Structure 1
Amino acid sequence: MRITSRLLAEPVSQPFRPGRRAPALALLPPIPLYRRLLRIHRKKLGPEERIMGDMYVKAEFRRHRDVENPLHLVGFLTRWQEYGQMLEGDDWKDGKIDTALVAKLSDHQVGQMYELMQTIQKRGRDSVDEEEEGRILQAIDEAAGSGKKDS
């Protein structure tokens, strides 16, 4: 068969089309996937998000270290690989959890999600409180500085 420039110019894989899911990558083994997730956290997440994300990834991989059910293991690795792919894109920050996925969660998993939500909300309130406190202290300092200048 003669190789032509037309054959060389054709894409090997299907082009990505918006609205369609990207083709799935081959399933990574646990240790390379674990390392990849930590690397993605280092590149894509802020300091607080990274600490919380790293702790969660480490705990989940530790918890599933001795799993022997191949279906459970494939599901676990698939979900974590999808999570990594999602973080590598930029649309994850505005994403919502699929209601069909929530319906499949166990009571324990729903409890974990609720605790995570409370932690995130508490951190958000704490950071807002710190910002307000900083502004108040700055205003007091400015007022005290201007009061000394007038004397």
Structure 2
Amino acid sequence: MLSIGSSIFYRPKDKQVHADNAHMGNVGDHIAPLKVYSSWKETNFSTQWCYENYIQVRSMKRARDIRDQLEGLLERVEIELTSNPGDLEAIKKAITSGYFPHSAKMQKNGSYRTVKHPQTVYIHPSSGLAQVLPRASPDH
């Protein structure tokens, strides 16, 4: 679901209020897409449920395909698939551990160096962080 990004929800112009109400409580963090996927799974992957909740069917099917691929890879390397969608603390830890190798610390000269493997990195100009964090230009 994280690889699908923000393409889960849609807002038809003539039904924006209905769509916003349907999406309430399902936007804003990394757990929300998991909740959407779990709800969709409970309906046996219903296309109609997606329409009723203003959810992109194509995006959900792509997420299901990615999950199926990952499950197949786990089986192939003989790793037992375990899942507990209710254990939000473990899920948050897993997400955070995936991001850690990409974390960076600002240096005195304004550049950033990754924490795990010291490498100079830059904030992409299109990132929301580029507007609020100081940055050195890649020309340095």
Q: TM-score if structure 2 supplies the norm length? A: 0.30
Instruction: Find the structure with the greater CA-based Rg.
Output: 1
Higher-RCO chain (CA-CA 8 Å, sequence separation at least 6) = 1
